[in-house]
């Protein structure tokens, strides 16, 4: 799965999670939903939520997937912890070596006997306030956290902070204002609005639902969403309620220069909502169209994405003093939901476009890819072959011979099976080089290797030990069987004939044969040394023969 598809999958998953978070759940259920979502998104072993205790200026665990009963009420200092650093900087912190980080707060690991291998901490921010930290630890199967995990957890943290704060507000409303029915209706309306906003990733549908839901939570005659374009121009992107004034069809042509519109400029500078109780008494108010002269009171809130004001949510009313501070706070909270929905839709649309472009590009490249892959496979196979074979004879080189030999020795030792070794040395090879030339000597080596390969089993391991010496390892073979095989090889080499400028070249070989001794052959090198000694005994006995232990000469 490529990064774009992964990001698209994360967006779809976070959309589903958002829908769950804004459903009618208790704070405890929401916290559990968040930490389980965090472990699923980042594929980690444990996730935790820490909220700031403003009275003591520390972070406290309120939910964790592991050891929650021991972590609750365990204070984590903001000054000397990775979670505290994420909280203080309002930035994600990712470290795959947390125990070497000076900010690592070790008392937690010591208490739980659970050291962190990898750690990812992202701040929980609600509007302009830091409320805590969402933390993931110890990536599964040894994999480390990466930027994709940080991006996914940050996106979840945005949703989580709103859900936590909404749930806390609901709890506060129930505790402090149970008699105020309007507060309950507002919280219920906000949940419904959030669910509606997060039920689609279609950009146009998102904007339409924003305006539809604004009317459900704040009474208005008209509302609109303005998005900032290049050159600090704010353009009405969508509106609701303008049909009755005859301006619905041309509303999207309405623009304002932010520098000339004090209300928009103020909201962008302060990042706070703005109330104008009576626009007729406000010298900065601009009637962009004569048809809208009926407006008497106004409330607006900035739409922030990644700490940048990207637009404005505006509500108008024909009554004077229609809005108060509570309405402003509610509209700003709603604007936070709107920002998330807009950004999710924008990212989803961008990801779809990028995926479509990539698919098109991949279709163009696919014609060449198969051919290139075949070339790579062929070259890789050739490089692998060259890395393990002797360039002259084509049999295994010494290094790979020992690798395979150790494996065969370990297999024989583990299952108490037999293993035989043959060391083959061409007789009087120096005389062959001196009398017939090195080219003929090379031919002798090649012909010998071919002869050996043709007369060995597929399971036998043949390698060039060095110079004119070859080693054969024969798994599942006792000494008597190996000796018979060595006799055939000796006879085969004896029958070889090479035509040279100085006449035909015949040569012979001496072969030492041994069987693995489980009590003294600790390594393949030991076994081969024993075969080497047997081979020298064959040479001393007159060459062109086989010698084995403990059987006497053939």
CB 194 within 8 A of CB 210: no
d(CA 34, CA 547): 75
Outline where DSSP puts E strands in 216-258. 222-229, 233-240, 255-257
d(CA 495, CA 425): 16
Per-residue pLDDT reduced to its tens digit, 182-201: 566 677 766 766 666 666 67
Pair of tokens at residue 56: 């003591």
Q: Give the pLDDT mean for 407-412.
A: 94
d(CA 166, CA 164): 5
Pair of tokens at residue 141: 């199967």
Beta-bridge mates of residue 239: 224
Q: Which helix (H) or strand (E) holds 128?
A: none
State residue 505's pLDDT score: 94
Per-residue pLDDT reduced to its tens digit, 473-507: 999 999 999 999 999 999 999 999 999 999 999 99
Domains and CATH numbers, the chain: 3-175 (3.30.450.40), 180-349 (3.30.450.40), 398-548 (3.30.70.270)
State residue 25's pLDDT score: 72
Q: Give the pLDDT mean for 281-288.
A: 85
pLDDT category of residue 450 using cuts at 50, 70 and 90: very high
Q: Give the pLDDT mean for 431-446.
A: 94
Closest CA to 222 of 240, 246, 235, 248: 240
Per-residue pLDDT reduced to its tens digit, 81-118: 999 999 999 999 999 999 899 999 999 888 888 888 89
Q: Give the pLDDT mean for 146-174.
A: 85
| Whether pLDDT at 464 is above 90 | yes
pLDDT category of residue 178 using cuts at 50, 70 and 90: very low
- b (16+ CB within 10 A) / e for 17-28: bbbbbbeebebe
Closest CA to 468 of 408, 543, 542: 543
Q: Give the pLDDT mean for 243-267.
A: 90
The C-alpha torsion from 112 through 113 and 115 to 119, rounded to 10°, is: -20
pLDDT category of residue 554 using cuts at 50, 70 and 90: very low
Closest CA to 548 of 461, 454, 468, 481: 481
d(CA 298, CA 274): 8
CB 422 within 8 A of CB 477: no
What's the chain's length in residues? 554
State residue 72's pLDDT score: 81
State residue 179's pLDDT score: 41
Please tell me which residue, 428 or 522, carries the higher pLDDT value.
428
State residue 170's pLDDT score: 75
Per-residue pLDDT reduced to its tens digit, 332-371: 988 888 888 778 877 887 888 888 888 888 888 887 777 7
d(CA 402, CA 481): 22
State residue 551's pLDDT score: 45
Beta-bridge mates of residue 124: 132
State residue 212's pLDDT score: 84
State residue 198's pLDDT score: 64
Mean pLDDT of the chain: 87
**Which residues, at least 6 apart from 336, have a Cβ–Cβ distance to it below 8 Å?**
126, 127, 162, 304
d(CA 219, CA 245): 18
Q: What is residue 396's DSSP assignment? A: B
| Phi-psi domain of 510 (left: phi exceeds 0; alpha: psi -120 through 50; beta: other) | beta
Per-residue pLDDT reduced to its tens digit, 24-54: 578 888 899 899 999 988 888 899 999 998 8
């Amino acid at each position: 799965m490529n990064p774009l598809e992964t990001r698209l999958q994360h967006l779809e998953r976070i959309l589903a999670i958002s829908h769950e978070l804004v459903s009618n759940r208790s704070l405890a259920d929401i916290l559990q939903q968040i930490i389980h979502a965090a472990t699923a998104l980042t594929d980690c072993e444990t996730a935790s939520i820490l909220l700031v205790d403003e009275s003591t200026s520390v972070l406290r665990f309120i939910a964790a997937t592991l050891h929650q009963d021991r972590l609750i009420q365990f204070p984590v200092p903001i000054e000397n912890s990775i979670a505290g650093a994420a909280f203080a900087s309002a930035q994600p912190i990712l470290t795959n070596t947390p125990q070497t980080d000076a900010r690592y707060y070790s008392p937690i690991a010591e208490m739980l006997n659970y050291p962190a291998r990898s750690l990812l901490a992202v701040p929980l921010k609600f509007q302009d306030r830091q409320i805590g930290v969402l933390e993931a630890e110890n990536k599964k199967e040894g994999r480390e956290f990466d930027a994709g995990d940080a991006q996914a957890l940050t996106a979840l943290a945005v949703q989580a902070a709103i859900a936590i704060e909404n749930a806390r507000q609901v709890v506060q409303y129930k505790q402090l204002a149970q008699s105020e029915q309007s507060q309950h209706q507002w919280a219920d309306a906000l949940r419904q609005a959030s669910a509606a906003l997060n039920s689609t990733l279609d950009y146009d549908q998102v904007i339409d639902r924003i305006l539809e839901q604004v009317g459900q939570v704040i009474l208005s005659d008209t509302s609109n969403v303005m998005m900032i374009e290049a050159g600090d121009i704010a353009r009405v992107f969508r509106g609701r309620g303008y049909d009755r004034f005859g301006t619905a069809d041309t509303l999207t042509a309405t623009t304002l220069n932010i520098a000339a519109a004090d209300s928009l400029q103020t909201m962008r500078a302060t990042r706070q909502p703005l109330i104008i109780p009576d626009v007729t008494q406000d010298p900065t108010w601009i009637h962009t169209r004569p048809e809208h002269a009926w407006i008497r009171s106004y409330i607006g809130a900035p739409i922030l994405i990644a700490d940048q004001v990207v637009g404005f949510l505006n509500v108008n009313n024909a009554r004077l003093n229609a809005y108060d501070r509570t309405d402003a706070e509610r509209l700003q909270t709603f604007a936070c939901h709107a920002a998330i929905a807009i950004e999710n839709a924008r990212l989803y649309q961008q990801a779809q476009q990028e995926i479509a472009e990539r698919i098109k590009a991949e279709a163009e490249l696919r014609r060449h890819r198969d051919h290139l892959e075949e070339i790579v496979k062929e070259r890789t196979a050739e490089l692998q072959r060259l890395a393990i074979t002797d360039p002259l004879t084509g049999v295994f080189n010494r290094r790979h011979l020992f690798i395979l030999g150790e494996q065969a020795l370990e297999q024989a030792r583990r299952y108490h099976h037999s293993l035989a070794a043959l060391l083959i040395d061409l007789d009087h090879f120096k005389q062959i080089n001196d009398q017939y030339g090195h080219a003929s000597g090379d031919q002798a080596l090649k012909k010998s290797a071919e002869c050996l390969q043709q007369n060995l089993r597929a399971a036998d391991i043949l390698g060039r030990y060095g110079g004119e010496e070859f080693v054969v390892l024969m798994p599942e073979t006792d000494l008597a069987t190996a000796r018979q095989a060595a006799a055939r090889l000796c006879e085969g080499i004896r029958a070889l004939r090479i035509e040279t400028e100085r006449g035909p070249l015949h040569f012979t070989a001496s072969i030492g044969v041994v069987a693995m001794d489980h009590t003294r052959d600790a390594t393949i090198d030991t076994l081969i040394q024993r075969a080497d000694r047997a081979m020298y005994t064959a040479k001393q006995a007159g060459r062109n023969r086989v010698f084995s232990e403990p059987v006497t000469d053939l």
